[in-house]
Chains A and B, each alone.
Chain A
Amino acid sequence: MPFRARHLLGIEHLAPDEITTVLDLAERYVDLNRRTIKRTDVLAGMTQINMFFENSTRTQASFELAGKRLGADVMTMSVAQSSVKKGETLIDTAMTLNAMQPDLLVVRHSSSGAVNLLASKVNCAVLNAGDGRHEHPTQALLDALTIRRAKGRLHRLTVAICGDIAHSRVARSNLILLGKMENRIRLIAPPTLMPSGVSEFGCEVYDDMAEGLKDADVVMMLRLQKERMDGGFIPSEREYYHRYGLDAEKLAYAKPDAIVMHPGPMNRGVEIDGTLADDINRSVIQDQVEMGVAVRMACMELLARNLKAERGRVAAEAGA
């Protein structure tokens, strides 16, 4: 089972066999998480610090649970309200935490590339929990696991990603991951929310839901940020829902067994119809949340393994 990464900064740096390794290991944690006693000691004695420079509920909770179930000592800091306000730079905050000798650092930040910058300054393993509009690798991995379990495979599927692609790190990570696993990817968005140069990424670009969803196996909806709803990028919430909101009628263009995904939190009645989101025959949104914990456990175990091996090598060299 190969997994060579030192940090998990983005899907971009993962090879297809590493992605498969994460997913295979995560399957085992799905089973564990469904038992009454969920605790293992894979990370026993190790320290995990979650640093969220941007507010988050579900990702933060998911990482915290994942660490605790693996037996790590977990500390969560909502940096959004603390030292950054006092003028401390990102690097100083990171160096301070690094001095406390954590083993795993989970970071979310509002600037693209901020987590890469931080990873270059610390000597623990860093997990990107979302940086700006760049990447959100664990989200793409949990989406991949959800798809694999629902569809029985993770290749040769037609996946439609719909919504605010321009500002979405979830879209970027998914685009890269699904591309690496040889799927057919369609992006559907109003042109104002489509990033430029995206056709060069090897995906099909649509601004019409009916065309884009045709024969899709997977329909992945994205959250539309409130601040982008009024006039700036789209005329109004109701026009967006009319043209791009997923409802049963639009979903009918996809394959009859197509699954519906959403990274959450959802805006019911904006990008997705509430009834559809709750339809257990189509929607796998709750599964995504469940897979999230398992995937994060797998990522942390693999990174911890590499970290231990690296420290072992360093110690052996120092001894020799």
Chain B
Amino acid sequence: MRITVFQNVCLIDPETGEIDEGSLTVQDGQITARGTEAPKGATLVDGKGACLAPGIVDWGVKIGEPGERHRESFRSAGLAAAAGGVTTIIARPDTHPAIDTPETLEFVTRRAAEASPVRIRHMAALTKGRQGREMTEIGFLLDAGALAFTDADHVVADSKVLGRALTYARSLGALVVGHPQDPALSAGGAATSGKFASLYGLPGVHPLAERMGLERDLALVEMTGASYHADQITCASTLPALRRARDQGLDVTAGVSIHHLTLNEFDVGDYRTFFKMTPPLRSEDDRLAMVEALAAGEIDVIASFHTPADEESKRLPFEEAAAGAVALETFLPAAMRLYHSGMVTLPQLFRAVSLNPAQRLGLPQGRITIGAPADLVLFDPDAPFLLDRFTLRSKSKNTPFDGQRMEGRVLGTWVAGGQVFGAGEHDA
């Protein structure tokens, strides 16, 4: 029987929205008590006033297994996640080959469990090969442990195919994750159309391509009654459609990437490809609207959309360069920018990064109440540091925050009561 007591910590409770100073007791991988004395023989962790929150459940992480292990392996992703306070990775199926059969899913599940210090769960592809033509074996994949179904950044352009997949998924209670984007309108876009794209001569994609994509998906959700999550909402003009769907009572949730909450189109500056994202970074007005929507609870989930890219695929002219950024380790410090700006509270943040994604995916994580799994992150929200991308544990170093001043450091990470990152445990 192994007991760990976290003392002298600020407990961030996303369920109640409260922050309590006190202690937390963990036994056999579960949270067993709050605010009680440490029993004899317990391992003590002195938080020295730091924050203790449910570990991050990061929904939409790309790992290069199978196919691109040179970019990221389960091992490197797991180590990066542990250092970033991410205790559950929800991996994307946009691998090579795509995770679209139960056999592939079983393989990656086994590999992940062997290699990673944090939990890794998978989403499966919605259509075979993410080609948008035939649905995958949704039933078998659910049985094999798929948490949701998505073609990641490939939009299922054929509405009939998506409609049928949603209908079938509904019968099994499977959650479908869409990438709201009109595929034709957004084709070839490297930046958000507007002053910046025009000035730098980059092909632009209009923000309304996102609303058009979402409106189409929502109409199909209305038609089929399926459960739907929009992976990334990044434009203010998309929000009314989301609100309308909620008012209609559709089972719809939405996420946003940490980069779209903390960066805008002008950060691309002189064609810096580490700032190339899918969808592209938006205007400052859109960024602020997303932060407000998050604070208001209209957007449910923040995810890192960790996308490792090797140097070769980024050292190209902007249009040709790969999109996406690594973010497992920078997720929490970047999120602290929202907290320090005063726009969201810490419990609100952890609702969006831990509780909401866990609940939407049917996981018991994301809570700091008695009986919940002891997946925890201890962090100092104010600790400043200068980010050097070469210190990242990810195999790929493509972060937009290189050389930037960050605030917020992870001091320790625990999965099922066992420490996977940081120092700080000592016996009483």
Nearest B residue (CB) for A12: B199
B270/A113 in contact, CB under 8 A: yes
In the complex, which residues of chain A have a beta carbon less than 8 angstroms from the beta carbon of B199? 12, 172, 201
Which residues of the other chain, B, contact A81 by a CB distance below 8 angstroms? Answer: none
Given A89-B316, A197-B194: A112 and B201 interface contact (C-beta under 8 Å):
yes
Q: Find chain B residues with CB under 8 A from A196 CB.
A: 193-195, 197-198, 204, 206
How far apart sit A198 and B194, CA to CA, in the bound complex (Å)?
A: 8
Among A128-136, A232-240, A256-264, the stretch that binds chain B is: A128-136
- A135 engages B201 (CB within 8 Å): yes
CB <8 Å contact, B271 and A132: no
A116-B270, A196-B204, A196-B206 known; A109-B193 Cβ under 8 A: no
Task: Find chain B residues with CB under 8 A from A116 CB.
Answer: 270-271
Q: For the complex, what is the distance from the CA of A200 to the CA of B283, rounded to whole Å?
A: 14
Q: Does B320 sit within 8 A of A, measured CB to CB?
A: yes
A114 at the interface (CB under 8 A from B): yes
**Is there contact, CB below 8 Å, between B312 and A111?**
no
Indicate if A274 sits at the interface (CB-CB under 8 A): no
B239 at the binding interface (Cβ < 8 Å)? no
Measured CA separation A117–B274 after assembly (Å): 13
Across the interface, A114 reaches (CB within 8 A) one of B270, B312, B317, namely B317
CB-CB under 8 A for A112 and B271, given A91-B315, A131-B201: yes
Are A89 and B198 also in contact (CB < 8 A) when A111-B319, A116-B271, A196-B204 are? no
Q: Is the CB of A113 within 8 A of B197?
A: no
Is A195 in the interface zone, CB < 8 Å from B? Answer: yes
A90 at the interface (CB under 8 A from B): yes
Q: How far is the CA of A42 from the CA of B316 in the complex (A)?
A: 35
A89 CA to B316 CA in the complex, in Å?
Answer: 8
Q: Is A186 an interface residue when CB atoms closer than 8 A count as contact? A: no
On whether the beta carbons of B197 and A109 are closer than 8 Å, the reply is: no
Q: Which of A113, A135, A172, A195 contacts B318 (CB 8 A)?
A: A113
> Is there contact, CB below 8 Å, between B198 and A195?
yes
**Are A197 and B316 in contact, with the CB atoms below 8 A?**
no
A113:B271 contact, CB within 8 angstroms: yes
Known: A116-B270, A132-B201, A135-B201. A111 touches B318 (CB 8 A): yes
- What 0/1 readout, one digit per residue, does chain B (195-222) give for beta carbons within 8 Å of chain A? 1111111101010000000000000000
Per the 8 Å Cβ criterion, residues 316-372 of B in contact with A are: 316-320
Asked if A68 is at the interface (CB within 8 A of a chain B CB), the reply is: no
CA distance A197 to B202 in the complex (A): 13
A69 sits at the interface (CB 8 A): no
A169 at the interface (CB under 8 A from B): yes
Q: Taking chain A's interface residues, is the majority helix, strand, or loop, or is none over half, making it mixed?
A: mixed
Contacts of A131 in B (CB 8 A): 201
| Residues in B whose Cβ lies below 8 Å from that of A201 | 195, 198-199
A117 pairs with B198, CB closer than 8 A: no
Q: Whole-angstrom distance from the CB of A84 to the nearest CB of chain B?
A: 12
**Which residues does chain A contribute within 8 Å of B317, judged by CB atoms?**
90, 109, 111-114, 117, 132
B:291-319 near A, CB below 8 Å: 312, 315-319
Cα-based distance from A90 to B202 in the complex (angstroms) = 18
Complex Cα distance, B318 from A200, in Å, reads: 23
User: In the bound complex, how far is the Cα of B271 from the Cα of A173, in angstroms?
Assistant: 17
Which single residue of chain B is at the shortest CB-CB distance from A120? B270
CB pair A134 B316 closer than 8 Å = no
In the bound assembly, the distance between CA atoms of A55 and B318 in angstroms comes to 20
Given A109-B317, A111-B317, A112-B317, CB of A200 within 8 Å of CB of B271: no
Known interface pairs A89-B315, A91-B315, A132-B319; A112-B194 also in contact (CB < 8 Å): no
Among B193, B201, B270, point to the contact of A133 (Cβ < 8 A).
Answer: B201
Asked whether A197 and B318 contact (CB < 8 A) given A116-B271, A117-B271, the answer is no
Q: Please tell me if the beta carbons of A112 and B198 are within 8 angstroms of each other in the complex.
A: no
| Least CB separation from A131: chain B residue | B201
Report yes or no: B312 in contact with A89, Cβ–Cβ below 8 A. yes
Q: Tell me which residues across on chain A come within 8 A of B312, comparing CB atoms.
A: 89
Q: How far is the CA of A201 from the CA of B195 in the complex (A)?
A: 8
Q: Mark A138-159, 1 if CB is under 8 A from B, else 0.
A: 0000000000000000000000
A133 to B204, CA, bound (A): 12
**In the docked arrangement, what's the CA distance between A113 and B201, Å?**
8
Q: Which residues of A contact B320 (CB under 8 A)?
A: 111
Q: Contact residues of A with B, CB < 8 Å?
A: 12, 89-91, 109, 111-114, 116-117, 131-135, 169, 172, 195-198, 200-201
Could you list 27 examples of A-B contacts with CB < 8 Å?
A: A12-B199, A89-B312, A89-B315, A90-B316, A109-B317, A111-B319, A112-B271, A113-B200, A113-B201, A113-B317, A113-B318, A114-B317, A117-B271, A131-B201, A132-B202, A132-B317, A133-B202, A134-B201, A134-B202, A172-B199, A172-B201, A196-B194, A196-B195, A196-B197, A196-B198, A196-B206, A201-B195
Q: Name B residues whose Cβ lies closer than 8 Å to a Cβ of A.
A: 193-202, 204, 206, 270-271, 312, 315-320
Given contacts A113-B317, A117-B271, A197-B197, 15 further A-B contacts (CB under 8 A): A90-B316, A112-B317, A112-B318, A113-B319, A116-B271, A132-B202, A132-B319, A172-B199, A196-B198, A196-B206, A197-B195, A197-B198, A198-B195, A201-B198, A201-B199
